[in-house]
Structure 1
């Protein structure tokens, strides 16, 4: 750091990243840093003494209005109005790219999410991952990552057999098997099979016909529901292809030869406990059939063969055991377990009138994506799923999220954008148009409420970077609500459009520029969440 060097102090003690944060109490300044407390001992000075020296130098720096020492060695900074106003210039110059970074530049990321079994409509857990996963993909892309969104289509295994038996039972007018699937959608798909193949029930390969048409129909409906929800995938990977291509057999053989598997009680076991898993896992069962993890191993190897250096799996609340086993599978195959990252999403409940909602129109007892969207709309459903950490159980109040007022968080944010668009239209009617930023004196933005908006706008790049680093897109939603709140207070205290016979002045133009920057940031943030930024409401 130049300031330390100028005083003959060792600059090597300065950390690579110096923490500068907004104080919770605005009276403490615009920004604060604890740098003096961090490095004072290594510099050989008392924290307060070092803080005094740093504050004195910072106060002389262009763009800093004041630097004051507080407590044992914190430094509180206030920016000069013209320097702080440059945030507006940065936002409007960058436009839709404002907030983006390069943290993940050069990283090729496979993001697998939803991956619901094609045996029924997407339930609330899958709906949560559809919203969060899509938003996370956008966040990672905004940080320079090359992201491939992937859906793992589980078209092999016992659940497909149960699904087929359920379809056949429905086609025959019989109740669903005890271990099968029920609901109006089963009858609908069974009818579709008969429509396409009228003799399906009497054909020798009846089960295969119901499997081919039924699974295909169910998956097409899943893809349509996801698309209508604003979530599309780059790759739909079929589990069955791993078995048909011999990839599973090849992966198992390689592990046997390398000693990664051992034979016990007629089954082949992965030595996963040696790589951090809580126990060894059966890969080939005693009957010779592959366990589910056999496909997981082959699937991971396929991802790595396609060039992905980070494989993110977004799994449901009942999949905690997969964290250890997937990392262990990578290590057992000689790969780096750090290339595997598993995110676990918790349960989602719907509430209406203070009571749980448990029944679905089409899927029996399972509440579906379709049910939620019908109740509150796509944007509200997405936002409700995204705005809370996926690590916590989520209760969605249908009465709240169906409201068309500021009590509804997504309405609150979207209305802030629409209001900013209205200000732009009204200003244009008065001939107040922002054409050249060089003609705008951003140093006039000196009101405390203007400062709140400016500092919040300046936080957006950090929020996006943190959301990407921690895989937490909910941080973007909460940020947008904070920005909308700052704008609300700004409107109450700072008039943008002249009233009556008042002539527009430089401060009106500066505030119009501030509104334009805020409008851009809200649009960028909503875009990251996959939610519309309306111009009128």
Structure 2
């Protein structure tokens, strides 16, 4: 019995009591919380439902908890239900009911943990979106790992996810990029506010390779040539880096296309007509304060040029017109103002501001030998995705970047991530999987096969129970990670699962030795081990990290 099934049982039992007493069922929460107690001696699971609802129903919490215990304890699969403290309810599962979790995992295989909470929901997930003026830096690398993992997790819960990269290929930064390339091609110094780094020289040389006469063109034509080819080459480099990092996008959306297609003009005209934009004699402003923003925003500047938010308005409108129920923006630490701004933009368009979600990611720093690593060989002033991968590899980089909540700054210890010890979290989890894969190979050599009819009720050792209960938490971990947009919950869960397995392995022998004959417990433990391996593999896959069979 999984925690989700147990939560359903608790709610159904409470509803039965409410019916018998003629109480309002609306008092009961839609989702009942069932958690593992910190002290295993208190039981397998615990719920505080009685404390939540008893007083609202005019009942004493302990009295209601006892009624709940009486009903639940008579249910199949429940060994006991006991009231504790002011109204907590501690639950113990019967061994056969607990062991059924193992059977469920083996039956579901790679689908174990998948849910339907987001079925029918179309989610646009925009992340990384680094300017095509240089390699992806560490902040973008964090989003590449976290955004891709979040997309996988949301899809595992039934969502139709579109991963989207917004190409900022319009604006002054692209012009500065083009001038930097021209300077490099001419052997001239980097222009003021230009881009430096070895990659600029590499791209400039490639532009000349594609168009040998580019430098001889008239100024305006030369600028456009270097801009067009430079963005194309830089974008190809970004796509290659991301793909090698395990992150691929469904849509690459050009900001420039909003200008050339007339979409930007159309959206601005509609907003003027609806009164959502107003003119103060010099500029056009969005009435964003009417929708919760701290100030109105300039959309068209006094010189008639669109402000940056103009493109944001047209881009959001395009997403909503494509039929997405939710548009998730994953932005850098300096974009806090975008939360209210984008929600206000949706409201100004007559759309639900709740369709817009903005996640803000904090800075990432590299540390080696206890000291910060600041310089990149290729980009000159920033550390790039490729710098990180070169040192620790894709798996370690992705796992470490997914392991922490994005709203907190992160120091990545390069020395730690290169260690093949249990201190290295990704090694710890991957080693557990490799150890389990090795166990199954050894079992195969002994002609021991997994049995669908293994008697899982024999798994009564405390370490077995702890491992089974940890396995059973996986679906609810994924549900919560999707709901809160927090992939780090999956990484932390995998570490707790690996820990539960290692502790089990230390006290419970699985395979027979010497001339020993396999017993029913042998096959039950083999099933438990395979279920553990499967869940580790499923979780690592959702983080975009490999599950090696040998290490």
Alignment TM-score, normalising by the size of structure 2: 0.96
In structure 2, how many angstroms separate the alpha carbons of the residues matched to 1:6 and 1:282?
Answer: 58
Aligned to 2:326: 310
Deviation at 1:10, TM superposition (A): 2.8
Cα distance in 2 for partners of 1:414, 1:70 equals: 39
* SS of equivalent residue, structure 1 residue 20: coil
In structure 2, the partner of 1:323 is 339
Residue 193 (structure 2) pairs with residue 179 (structure 1) = yes
What secondary structure sits across from 2:81 in the alignment?
strand
- Separation in 2, partners of 1:14, 1:219: 53
Question: 1:391-434 CA distances to partner (integer Å, 9 max, x unpaired)?
Answer: 00000000001112221101110111111111101111112111
Could you say which residue in structure 1 is the equivalent of 2:533? 519
C-alpha distance in structure 1 between counterparts of 2:318 and 2:483, whole Å:
25
- Whether the aligned pair in 2 keeps the contact of 1:110 and 1:311 (CA below 8 Å) is yes
TM-fit CA distance, 1:9: 5.3
**What secondary structure sits across from 1:329 in the alignment?**
helix
**What is the CA–CA distance in structure 2 between the aligned matches of 1:506 and 1:480, rounded to whole Å?**
28
> Which of the numbers 164, 171, 185 marks the counterpart of 1:157?
171
Are 1:114 and 1:314, in contact at CA under 8 Å, matched by a contact in 2?
yes
Q: Which runs of 4+ in 1 moved over 3 A?
A: 5-9
Equivalent of residue 144 in structure 2, options 130, 155, 161: 130
After TM superposition, list the pairs within 5 Å mapping 1:71-470 onto structure 2. Answer: 71-204=85-218, 205-434=221-450, 436-438=451-453, 440-470=454-484
1:491-506 aligned at under 5 Å gives the runs: 491-506=505-520
Alignment counterpart, residue 486 of structure 1, candidates 500, 503, 524: 500
Q: Are residue 4 (structure 1) and residue 17 (structure 2) matched? A: yes
Q: Secondary structure at the match of 1:68?
A: strand
Q: Give ranges in structure 2 of 5+ residues lacking alignment.
A: 1-11
Report if the CA contact (8 A) 1:4-1:11 is conserved: no
Count matched residues.
535
- State the alpha-carbon separation in 1 of the partners of residues 391 and 493 from structure 2: 26
Displacement after TM superposition at 1:39 (Å) = 2.1
Aligned counterparts of 1:457 and 1:262: Cα–Cα separation in 2: 57
Alignment partner of 1:248: what SS? helix
CA separation in 2, counterparts of 1:462 and 1:401?
29
Q: Write the distance in 2 (CA, Å) between the matches of 1:6 and 1:122.
A: 59
In the alignment, the residues of structure 2 paired with residue 198 and residue 121 of structure 1 have an alpha-carbon distance, to the nearest angstrom, of 25
The RMSD of aligned alpha carbons is 1.1
Instruction: Give the SS at the match of 2:54.
Output: helix
How far apart are 1:92 and its partner, in Å? 0.8
Distance in 1 (CA, whole Å) between partners of 2:24 and 2:337 is 46
Shift of 1:198: 1.2
SS in 2 for 1:21: coil
1:139-183 Cα offsets, whole Å, 9 max, x none, are 110110000000000100000000001000111111111200000
Q: d(CA) in 2 for partners of 1:288 and 1:420?
A: 65
Structure 2 distance, partners of 1:101, 1:466, is: 11
Q: Structure 2: how far apart are the matches of 1:338 and 1:168?
A: 45
The offset of 1:518, in angstroms, is: 0.5
Call closer, same or farther: CA 1:328–1:11 in 2, change over 3 Å.
Answer: closer
**CA 1:76–1:11: 2 relative to 1, 3 Å:** farther
SS in structure 1 opposite 2:366? strand
Q: Provide the rounded CA distance (Å) in 2 between the counterparts of 1:139 and 1:345.
A: 18
Instruction: Provide the C-alpha distance between the structure 1 equivalents of 2:56 and 2:406, rounded to a whole number of angstroms.
Output: 40
Q: Distance in 2 between matches of 1:183 and 1:10?
A: 71
The separation in 2 between residues aligned to 1:137 and 1:79, in whole angstroms, is 34
Matches within 5 A, 1:15-94: 15-94=29-108
- Other structure's SS at 2:215 match: coil
CA deviation digits over 1:1-24, x for unaligned, max 9? 344158545361432222111101
Question: How far is 1:365 from its partner?
Answer: 1.2
Return the offset for 1:191: 0.6
Point out the more displaced range, 117-126 or 304-313: 304-313
DSSP-derived class of the 2:509 partner? coil
Q: What secondary structure, in the 3-state scheme, does the structure 1 residue paired with 2:535 have? A: helix
Does the 8 Å CA contact 1:9/1:43 hold for their aligned counterparts? no
1:531 pairs, out of 545, 548, 551, with 545
TM-score norm. by structure 1 comes to: 0.98
CA drift at 1:325: 0.8
Return the alpha-carbon distance in structure 2 between the equivalents of residues 368 and 87 of structure 1.
Answer: 43
CA distance in 2, matches of 1:503, 1:6: 54
CA distance in 1 between counterparts of 2:398 and 2:32 reads 35
C-alpha displacement of 1:68: 1.1
